Amino acid sequence: MFHGTVHVCHLIHSLGPGGAEQVLVDLATVAGDVGLRMTVLALVDHPTPVHEDDLRRAGVEVRNLGLGSRWDPRAFVRAERLVAEVRPDLLHTHLKHADLVGGVVATRLGLPQVSTLHVIEEGARGVALGKRWLAGRLRSRIAARTIAVSAAQREWYLSTFRADPSSLVTLYNGVVPGPPLEPSERTALRATLGADENTVLAANVSIMRPGKGHVDLLKAMAQLPPSSPVRLVLIGDGPCRSDLEQLATTDPALTDRVLFAGYRTDIATVIQAADVIVHPSYADALPTALIHALAAGLPVIAYDVGGIPEIVGSDAGVLLPVGSVSELARTTEELAGDPAARARMGSAGRARFAELFDAKIWAENLVRLYDEVRS
């Protein structure tokens, strides 16, 4: 077992908007408390590197390979040069592009590699299937440990790849909760989202792409009675946003009920303005927005898929069958009219967060894993 500070170089495809990128920011926030020194290398020079400044403010050294594509072959040479300059104790890679580059670099430099899986890649076809297979093969040959962020993801991975179960560990990501808002601050924040004291504010935090359930959510909101106090705020951006906005603005049942708030970097704060989190995603390994919901004491309504049940448990929200739009509408309306149930679920969520998903607990578990790999 090692003692003292461990220096880990994290390799990721970019520092633009994304869940995996935000995970690194949360880790950096608590790294000093657990004896962890971080360096982050990004493969691609993203036009909006929203997390780069956050990492630097947390004391993390950030480097960029300056590539225009995740699959630029120059990545191998540039990454090897930068990692050699940084001289970490080990290399931790995130997402398959970085897994491929990092696996080669780790081998050349004689460094142990740890890889974190962030998604459940079902339904891959053609070139995407080939890329997924190549990344999995390289992980199985080189990575000392592969981290699944949920038991559901681990089960999927073992059923998809020829992986050694002993090298595949389950380790929940953690998040750093935002400072609790004063009542006046919360009221002011809710006003910016079109919610007053009589509104039950439902929030969805997710990238707007196929499979995230936004269409189901809008259809469910359209089924609510006109007298319903529910207002929906959609936080996020992505390729489907314009289509979703068109759907919301052309349906009279939605025009005054739905707000598109765009991408936000202050999720831990803005989520506290909501009364309930609604997340009808069709596939998710471990959505951090729902972990933030637990930390904020908010009940969750979500589809029963992937790692979501591991976040919500049996008492921090309501899980529904995938695609059950009418049940989604009914459950949202029922919780809107039952503040006691919302409070009960929120209290259970806070307890689950403290036990399983606090960022410091996660960081401590990571450091133990790093020490195990280095020993």
Rounded Cα distance, 103 and 148, in Å? 17
Asked if pLDDT for residue 293 goes beyond 70, the answer is yes
- Sorted by where each starts, the structural domains of the chain and their CATH numbers stand as 6-174+358-374 (3.40.50.2000), 183-357 (3.40.50.2000)
Confidence of residue 3 (pLDDT cuts 50, 70, 90): low
Report the pLDDT value the prediction gives residue 111, as an integer from 0 to 100. 97
DSSP state of 253: T
Q: What is the pLDDT of residues 69-81, one digit of tens each?
A: 877 889 999 999 9
Contacts of 199 (CB under 8 A, 6+ apart): 190, 229, 230, 231
CA dist 219 → 203, 251, 309, 325 (Å): 15, 10, 23, 7
Confidence of residue 129 (pLDDT cuts 50, 70, 90): confident
Mean of per-residue pLDDT scores for the chain: 94
Confidence of residue 133 (pLDDT cuts 50, 70, 90): confident
Cβ proximity of 241 and 315 under 8 Å: no
Asked if pLDDT for residue 2 goes beyond 70, the answer is no
Averaged pLDDT for residues 292-321: 98
Confidence of residue 17 (pLDDT cuts 50, 70, 90): confident
Q: What is the pLDDT of residues 145-184, one digit of tens each?
A: 999 999 999 999 999 998 899 999 999 999 999 999 999 9
For residues 214 and 119, which has the higher predicted lDDT (pLDDT)?
214
